[in-house]
Amino acid sequence: MTIQVGDKIPDVDISVATADGPQPTTTGEFFGGKKVALFAVPGAFTPTCSARHLPSYVEKAGDLKSKGVDTIACISVNDPFVMAAWGERDASKDITMIADGNGAFAEAVGLDMDGAKFGMGKRSQRYSMLVNDGVVEQLNVEAPGEYRASSAEHLLEQL
């Protein structure tokens, strides 16, 4: 079942990609006590993710933070080393890169997908959510092949 507005984020293991290497944590620790703009992508370095999705959050980071967002995070079913490399190349220090290497978070929130026909295996759907102290306040799930609802611009309109 897909997570809904008003639901608490399930507590699963994730890894934050940092310059010092992967930092294991849980979603309970990561989302607790702060307002997080989270966006999920099917894969690091993939065309729409690199050309549009991540750049929209890099560009609008200051605007999101001025509206009360404490942390902006990108999550993908990739390992923490790939997420760190993508963050170093395309992100900014305003974006926290999160690895959901085994897809546990994507599955727990009911937003996983089968990308096997593209040679990608189990992945996350494209979406954004606003999470306040572990509770979902906004959820924007894209239709397959679409990119609009999960953009930073759309999430800003909701704040």
Active-site positions read: 49
Whole-number CA gyration radius for the chain? 14
Alpha-helical regions (H) of 32-96: 47-48, 54-66, 80-90
Angle in degrees, CA 57, 24, 104, rounded to 5:
75
Contact 64, 38 (CB under 8 A): no
Closest C-alpha among 145, 106, 99, 146 to residue 123: 106
Which residue carries 């959901």 as its tokens? 100
The DSSP H or E segment spanning 136 is strand 135-141
Instruction: Kindly report the length of the chain.
Output: 159
